[in-house]
Structure 1
Amino acid sequence: MSIQFSRRGLMTAAAAAALAGPVFAQTAPAGRASVLDTMRRATRFMVDEASVGGGYVWSALPDFSRRWGELEASPTMIWVQPPGTGTMGHLFLDAYHATRDEAYYAAAVSAARALVRGQHPSGGWNYVIDTAGEDSLRRWYDTYGKNAWRMEEFQHYYGNATFDDAGTSEASQFLLRLYLEKREREWRAPLNKAIQFVLDSQYPNGGWPQRYPLSHDAGLHGRPDYTGYITFNDDVAGENIKFLIFCYQTLGERRLLDPIRRAMDCFLACQQPAPQAGWGLQHNVETLKPSAARTYEPEAYATHTTAANIGQLFSFYRLTGDRKYIARVPEALDWLESVRLPQRLQRDGRTHPTFIQPGTNKPLYVHRRGSNVVNGAYYVDGNPEDTVIHYGSFRSVNVAGMRTEYDRLAAMTPEAVSEGSPLLARQGSVGLPKYFTLQDISVSDMTSDGNRPPAEPVVVAGLISGLNARGYWPTPLRAISNPYIGDGSPEVAPGEYRITRVGDASDTSPYITDFPVMGVSTGEYIKNMGVLIQALEGAPAA
């Protein structure tokens, strides 16, 4: 879950309109031809050489002898988790909108077909698709997934679909865009399945589990299975709400209004009473109390999730004009202020501990011992030293900024704050944004930083000249992993693994290397294509 693919809040009509308008001047004719040629060459490489059956992973060696998503992928696997196949489909549609070149539409169709072939019968998606079938996928889970010490979500094959990391949401939004583009019947049935998946998986109280259909497994590491809890982590609910709003506006499905409202109200129901008026990463379905998940996610309040949920409540107020969504925001802000770390414990601008113990308001810090998934273990205590580095125990939370935004919204009338809301506007009057990958997002595959620079002439010239003869931008593959060599030993290997991203040689978790080799990065392709689209089409920078 280390991927950074954040969308900041739900889109209003005004924001969607802003995305469609030009900001930068168009390139000169000669520059335009070079931009178009560079885009075509880069896309031809990705479609002809990098894709597997129309789908994509995150990065690869130039000869594709090793390929990675969040973990190393087998030769037949593609990634759904962003920035994977769905993100690439969105980029192809963005390029099609900028150029009207049918080759980009054809690439989007290939990506969509790859996703549809891997769509779970329930209508959602797993993190990954193995084009070689179920047996091959199970072998991968029993080898690479099972031995990725810190990647507990991959250590067990559930056989269902997940909302984690926006994979299902992004794939669903992509199918919606593709269907609306030309209203081709091929996409209506899988789109309907995706919509029904979101509806079927929603609890009566409006929340969503992390995975669905619900698992009946006993769980991992001696804990109950956490995947059925109401999940706020990684913006599960916010992404589903966004997708349903898009469908409500563009497809005219009024039946989606009640699920949307129930989902927003679940945020209110799960906010805990003062003085600890925050949220956890996930909440028990019956008690609505914060619950533990992975072994490094204790039963606790989460400061960064609380901040994200406050942001969602601001969005809900803008969408509805209903003040109930911001009524208890001051309580949440007061709680966040009360758990701010003293200056001496703050790290690199990180002002708050990630986890707070219910009842005591004491910070909980995450540590580990051992060297691999067999002999290792995670634990939490009150010691802020030597915490694990792959899951931050400290967060940057801008309480003052949120308080300013609350004061601004609270001073506005409900009519003013909700003007242009797609929920309140006449159905069909608010379309989808012209561009999706040019929104305020960060698309990182752990190798590319995902931060798109402005389309300045020197940047564009560098991208044109930097595309190599094969048609890709050589990128240092900073995120790599140990190859699978067999299950970990029960004996702890020599060395220090408490604060490393990876354990001993049997650990298949990704880590950042000091000696990267050059390779192919999907994230870098998406980022660079976004810059070229900006230069070509005058689209706004994030």
Structure 2
Amino acid sequence: MQTTRRVLLAGMAGAVALPAAAAPAPSRAQVLAAMRRATAFMTDKAAVHGGYVWSYLPDFSRRWGELEASATQVWVQPPGTGTVGHLFLDAYHATGDEAYYAAATQAAECLMAGQLPTGGWNYLIDFGGEAAKAKWYATIGANAWRMEEFQHDWGNATFDDAGSSEAMQFLLRMYLEKRDPRFKPALDRALDFVLNSQYPNGGWPQRWPAGRPFTKHGADYTGHITFNDDVAGENIKFLVMAAQTLGDPRVAPAIRRAMDVFLITQQPAPQAGWGLQHRVDDLKPAAARSYEPLALTTHTTAVNTAQLMTFYELTGDPKYLARVPEALNWLAKVALPRPRPDGRTHPTFLEIGTDRPLYVHRRGSNVVNGAYYADGDPEKTLAHYSAFRLVKLDELRARYAALKATPLDRVAANSPLTHKGALPRFFANQDFATSDLNGGGTMAPLKVSPETVSRLLADLNTEGYWPTPLLATSHPYKGPGPKTSTPGDYSQTHVGDDFDTSPYPTDTPVMGVSTSAFIKNMGVLISAVDGA
């Protein structure tokens, strides 16, 4: 799902149709002034110690990351502090204005202040201290029914949802920009974090070092080899960036081990796929959160298959393509008889050994009395975790065929593993998935056109932000939920009863401040300035 903004220009109707005069494109000076005003609002009013959450009410009386945040918290998880920092560095590259470098520096210093001793990050940073963080976890976090990763303070760093990875990538860019030594110690700790947490077989856990087993089913799933939310792929991305720029001799072997873990965890035919996570000892799929049963997963298999083709492009090593056809054949075999009305082609979970679809449901009304379970019934499945996925199998097959047809000596001719070079100038305009319900689930960039630029300048309000409908909200914390289920059907809702603090889409959105809207809109203006 992509959220893009389309500007429609109305023509004039009459007996004689004449072309409407196009509005003059905003001048470079006007665009630069709007960028500075929007940035000043974020740095001076929205930021906490240089960091950001995902959305705010206009009076800042409430604010949210993936959950409601306190006034002393910032979010590491994208589109949070690191994403905004990337944007400011992008703006600096486009304009040369040192104010953006200063804003990026504030975001970097925020992340450095919240970096854990191991070198990684949690989802959030709380500048209110340990007592404030403990209170948040005991109230808002503990009562977010579907947000199991926030129900306890695990006391360690996470690779989930690219938070640590994005922070590391941003700190690398900041250090490389001017070789400012203030960023080097934190960057070194981050690199050590990735290397030290990698298992000998090349995989990474979801969290590191090991935390306490808080899950309802008694096992700490966070220590398994994790592919979910592209944990391995994001870490490889950072290591490739480091290989291009830092010259650390530890990096190249770690990249190879990371790529090879995709090979050793692929299951044997005829079920040649992957799970969300795999056990370290026997490399078999493992269950994770209580709505992620032990199963093979089609979207993970599609992503990992694409990653193997990327690894082939990086290395030219045919071993990464060797079992791609087996994965594609399995995906073809388990496809739905026909796509669903929304275009989705595959069930999410397939039972190991049978290929029987597993559909996840829930009963109850909150975290106290609720529970998740899986069966073979495709009706009334979860709204917050899709039972079906879109797998673009034809595109995967076409990419594989194109790679096979490419002469081997040309496959990795310009690989960043062998050709050092500068990093891309812009990062924040990348298209990536996000859990931010206000952002529509993606950070897909908006189309750049004079009309779009004109509209963005007109929509920027006098305070300096783009008023945005906040499509998601949450119930304020009101205490632990009752042990008996509240009447009602919560099986297909994002949120349970009034005691559930999970975010949910609202039918009555209020206008507010959206960090994802700021990033997208600024991305358009950056492109307009850079192309002028």
Same fold? TM cut 0.5: yes
Residue in 2 that maps onto 1:69: 65
The offset of 1:382, in angstroms, is: 0.3
**Do the aligned partners of 1:444 and 1:523 also contact (CA within 8 Å) in 2?**
no
TM-superposed CA distance for 1:496, in Å, is 1.1
Q: Is the 8 A contact 1:3 1:446 kept in 2?
A: no
Helix, strand or coil for the counterpart of 1:520?
strand
1:474-533 deviations in Å (ceiling 9; x for gaps): 000111100000011101111110101100000000000000000000000000000001
Q: Quick check: 1:221 aligned with 2:191?
A: no
Match of 1:8 in 2: none
Q: How does 1:90-489 map to 2 (within 5 A)?
A: 90-215=86-211, 217-343=212-338, 346-425=340-419, 429-441=420-432, 445-449=436-440, 450-489=443-482
Q: Distance in 2 between matches of 1:500 and 1:262?
A: 41
Aligned-residue offset at 1:400? 1.6
Relative distance call for 1:486 and 1:266 in structure 2 (3 A) is same
* TM-score, structure 2 normalization: 0.94
Q: Deviation of residue 446 (structure 1)?
A: 1.7
Contact 1:443 1:451 in 2 (8 A): no
The verdict on how the C-alpha distance between 1:30 and 1:153 changes in structure 2, with shifts beyond 3 A counting, is closer
Shift of 1:440: 3.7
Aligned to 1:15: none
Structure 1 unaligned regions, length at least 5: 5-26
Which deviations, in whole Å up to 9, do the C-alpha atoms of 1:3-22 show, x marking residues without a partner? Answer: 99xxxxxxxxxxxxxxxxxx
Aligned counterparts of 1:299 and 1:283: Cα–Cα separation in 2: 10
Residue type of the alignment partner of 1:226 = Y
Secondary structure of 2:358's aligned partner = strand
Report the count of equivalent residues: 511
Select 1:528's aligned residue among 512, 521, 527.
521
Q: Which runs of 5+ in 2 are unaligned?
A: 4-22
Query: TM-score of the superposition, structure 1-length normalised?
Result: 0.92
Secondary structure of 2:372's partner? strand
CA distance in 2 between counterparts of 1:30 and 1:60 reads 29
Amino acid at match of 1:46: M
CA RMSD, Structure 1 to Structure 2 (Å): 1.6
Pairwise CA distance, 1:444: 6.7
1:30 shift after superposition:
5.8
Counterparts of 1:206 and 1:184, CA distance in 2: 32
Please list the CA deviations of residues 152-202 of structure 1 after superposition, one character each: whole Å capped at 9, or x if unmatched.
Answer: 110111110000000000000000000000111100000000000000100
Q: Relative contact order: is structure 1 or structure 2 higher (C-alpha 8 Å, sep ≥ 6)?
A: 1
Q: Deviations over 1:296-341 (max 9, x none)?
A: 0000000000000011111100000001001100000000011011
- 1:421-463 C-alpha deviation (Å, 9 max, x unpaired): 01122xxx31110000123435673213333222111100000
Change (3 A) 1:401 1:30: closer
Residue identity matched to 2:259: M
CA distance in 2, matches of 1:28, 1:111: 36
Distance in 1, matches of 2:511 and 2:360, equals 34
Q: Is the 8 A contact 1:219 1:226 kept in 2?
A: no
Structure-2 change in CA distance of 1:153 and 1:444 (3 Å)? closer
| 3-state SS in 2 of match to 1:38 | helix
Describe the SS at the equivalent of 1:341. coil
Report % sequence identity: 62
Supply the distance in 1 between the matched residues of 2:388 and 2:77 (Cα, whole angstroms): 25
SS at match of 1:518: strand
Output one character per residue of 1:349-373: Cα deviation in whole Å (capped at 9) or x when no partner: 1110000000011000010000000
2: CA distance, partners of 1:340 / 1:213: 38
Report if the CA contact (8 A) 2:429-2:444 is conserved: no
Q: State whether residues 291 and 300 of structure 1, in contact with CA within 8 Å, keep that contact through their aligned partners in structure 2.
A: yes
